Amino acid sequence: MLPEPDAALCRGLADDLRDAGYTPEALRSAWGAAADDAIARGLRAPADRALGGRGGALAVLGRLFMLGMPQPAASVARALPRTAPDGLVRLGLAVAAGDDVRPLAVVRPQSYADAGAADGGSVWWIASDLDEAALGGPLPEDHVLGVGGASLTLAALQLPTPAIRGLDIGAGCGIQALRARRSVERVVATDISQRALGFTRLNALLNGVDGIEVRLGSLFDPVAGERFDRIVSNPPFVITPRVDDVPAYEYRDGGMEGDDVVAAFVRGVGEHLEPGGVAQLLGNWETRAGTAGLDRVREWVESSSVPLDAWVVERESLDPLSYAELWVRDGGTLPGTPGFARLIDAWLDDFTSRDVSEVGFGYLLLRRPASGAPTLARYELLHQALPGDGIGAHLADALAAHDRLAALDDDGVAASVFAVAPDVTEARHHVPGQEDPTVIELRQGGGFGRALGVDPGLAALVGACDGDLPAGALIDAIAQLLGVDAAALRADLVPRVRELAFTGFLRIV
């Protein structure tokens, strides 16, 4: 367990890191793009080799905190004049080893950006446990994970709209709590690991973020009877065999069978949401005995004691063997090393016991309706990478568009005015020698980066939506041009206008 972090020491360390220019861009420039990318694959040597004998503050801190390599105490003292080696020891980040300082944790700079934020985003320094490259072997079961791809995805997905009370379940190193505090006034961060909560407190102080309270416990136990406007969770959703000799890593294993931890979250979260409150999380779900994973998620939502709006996106799916290999490797056990084949067999036996043919991964957005019954039940496959920043704002805009249109009947939608989103482009494909296109495709530069095939009628409507005339008037004009019945065209296009407004191709004026 980490010691209780000292606020003054954390401020001093932050000032030292800032003065050293300890940023992702500076480190990438110092050891080169190839070596920087190799670090993410667990390879430290290329970055160390690129630094050579350089002894400046950035090089010393890069070796110590990014690569997890001992450094001379005198060099560390020069690189961190306010903190000094003794300060790192008192924070639990390092130990003295003769004339060297040996790191006990990594402290990595992490850039972040917030669309519309006053400061536009900046850099956080995130402390977490040493990874397998620094440890030279498999991770301990109480390992506290740093910022990985899943963490960054969830941070980007968080709604940027203001809220009062927030909850981060399974806080880990605290990255989601830090991100939530950008728009939420007060955040409770919970975890089953005291060590993880120690890193959350440390990282909040290190980055000058107040308003984060930590509590020990599993799922909703630490907040029994409480409600929140915003809940976020990167839960320990990894499906792990319940076998004695299979490591149960706290950062990824919730101690339940199969996908039960995600099911428990979905079924229980509604009771802890204020009316209008939103929960966002990542998760895995199994396809069992021919029942698709997304259909099982729908069952979880529908079995909630509190009715919920739901928008669930499956980002990817893996067969049982690929899933097993992914997470055995993640724990630091590699092919050809002792125990690899045994662990793979344990995972496959576990999947076979539940007749699992596929495991999906994705994002869940759940909302307690402000009043009345749920109006949103969307379960979709989007097996593509997120295109970039701004996805959280896109989700907020989609919810707002849904709520506005849900209050309108078809005549109300036809009477509304729409404009094409600025990130939308159109592509037309022709057979050589033919005037009319065989394929018309709308593409979205932001949001989920959707591509949508459309017919000439819908393409004409989207092209005419310039924020001037109502959709119904445009449809009537298009019907006349195409020589088709206006009422039939309106009945066809209005539901599709709702979809285009929700997905961000059109904006309500």
**What's residue 116's pLDDT?**
47
Mean pLDDT for each 10-residue chunk of the chain (509 residues)? 92 98 96 94 93 95 97 98 97 96 96 60 90 81 88 94 97 96 97 95 97 96 97 92 86 86 96 98 97 98 97 97 93 85 94 97 97 95 81 96 97 98 94 86 94 95 97 97 96 97 97
- Kindly state whether residues 148 and 87 are assigned to the same domain: no
Q: 380 and 424 share a domain?
A: no
Assess whether 271 and 303 both reside in one domain.
yes
Same domain, residue pair 460 and 321: no
Burial (Cβ within 10 Å: 0-12, 13-18, ≥19) of residue 318: middle
Whether residue 367 sits in one domain with residue 234? yes
Comparing C-alpha atoms, which of 481, 495, 489 is closest to residue 412? 495
Predicted local confidence at residue 381, as pLDDT: 96
Burial of residue 408 (CB within 10 Å: 0-12, 13-18, 19+) is middle
DSSP states along 100-126 = EEEESEEEEEEE---TT-SS---EEEE
pLDDT for 277 equals 98
Same domain as 410, residue 370? no
Q: Is residue 102 part of a domain?
A: yes
Q: Count up the domains in the chain and report the number.
A: 3
DSSP 3-state of 336: coil
Q: Are 284 and 427 in the same domain?
A: no
pLDDT at residue 386 in the model: 78
Under 8 Å between Cβ of 233 and 222: no
Confidence (pLDDT) at 430:
86
Match 């060297």 to its residue by tokens.
100
Residues 260 and 374 in one domain: yes
495 shares a domain with 362: no
The verdict on residue 165 lying in a domain is yes
Same domain as 446, residue 313 = no
Residue 91 lies in a domain: yes
Residue pointed to by tokens 């009043």? 371
pLDDT of residue 42: 84
Do residues 31 and 59 touch, judged by C-beta distance below 8 A? Answer: no
The pair phi, psi for residue 117, each rounded to 5°, is -70, 150
Range of 303's domain?
144-390
